[in-house]
Chain A
């Protein structure tokens, strides 16, 4: 089953460390989206990427957060110098294109805990 693969499923970091979250889109999908979810909240858009390009990063904090989707390999969401407020579930989704009739398919998420 070639669904959206995210790893790790759980990640624990101490304040000040770096967190790297990986996402491999579904086969044939070249559009990747990252969302953040807090308990009892909906998903909040962070960034939209196509291969080698960041299309929209308006939902991502300008400091400490970065994302990439290289030509080869998974998309990476990187959080530097993590703080307690970064604790959340981070979901990645993919789609074959960005047309409105195409669903975004989600991975199982990475649950980030900051000690």
Chain B
């Protein structure tokens, strides 16, 4: 089943923070986060594996709560380059990541 992302859209001023959530109704093994700019390829940000770890990528970090089947992406001190649509892709329990199920995305707009 498709994970649910919230919010659907968010507008920030440069330097502000944002949180994007991804919830699934099924047990998860991993969560993959991507950012896509209009007309371009989705760009890999990070993978979170079962275990509740938190990972970071520059000023972007994420957490994975496997018990709640949720992941959150944290963007701090946003930059103009952070604008784009963020997708979470989930992998069901059992491993083997080929079958990612993506949410509908969260459109992030960062204004000067």
Binding site for B on A (CB under 8 A): 4, 31, 33, 35, 40-45, 48, 55-56, 58, 91, 95, 98-109
Cα distance A35–B41 in the bound complex, in angstroms = 12
Interface 1/0 per residue, B76-112 and A, CB below 8 Å: 0000000000010101000111111111110000000
Closest chain A residue to B96, Cβ basis:
A98
Query: Beyond A102-B97, A104-B97, A106-B41, is A42–B2 a contact (Cβ under 8 Å)?
Result: yes
Cα distance A45–B92 in the bound complex, in angstroms = 14
A91 contacts B42, C-beta separation under 8 Å: yes
Total residue contacts A-B, CB cutoff 8 A: 69
Chain B, interface size category, equals 20 to 34
Query: Beyond A101-B47, A103-B47, A104-B32, is A42–B97 a contact (Cβ under 8 Å)?
Result: no
A100 contacts B95, C-beta separation under 8 Å: yes
What are 25 inter-chain pairs, A to B, with CB distance below 8 A? A4-B41, A41-B105, A42-B87, A42-B104, A43-B87, A43-B100, A44-B102, A45-B99, A55-B98, A58-B99, A91-B42, A95-B97, A99-B95, A99-B96, A99-B97, A100-B95, A100-B96, A101-B49, A104-B44, A104-B97, A105-B44, A106-B34, A106-B41, A106-B43, A107-B41
Closest chain B residue to A102, Cβ basis:
B97
A48 contacts B99, C-beta separation under 8 Å: yes
Query: Beyond A98-B96, A100-B47, is A108–B103 a contact (Cβ under 8 Å)?
Result: no
Query: Beyond A43-B89, A101-B49, is A48–B98 a contact (Cβ under 8 Å)?
Result: yes
Closest chain A residue to B5, Cβ basis:
A42
Q: A45-B99, A45-B100, A99-B97 are in contact. List 12 more A-B contacts (CB 8 A).
A: A41-B105, A44-B102, A55-B98, A91-B42, A98-B96, A99-B96, A100-B30, A100-B47, A100-B49, A104-B100, A106-B42, A108-B41
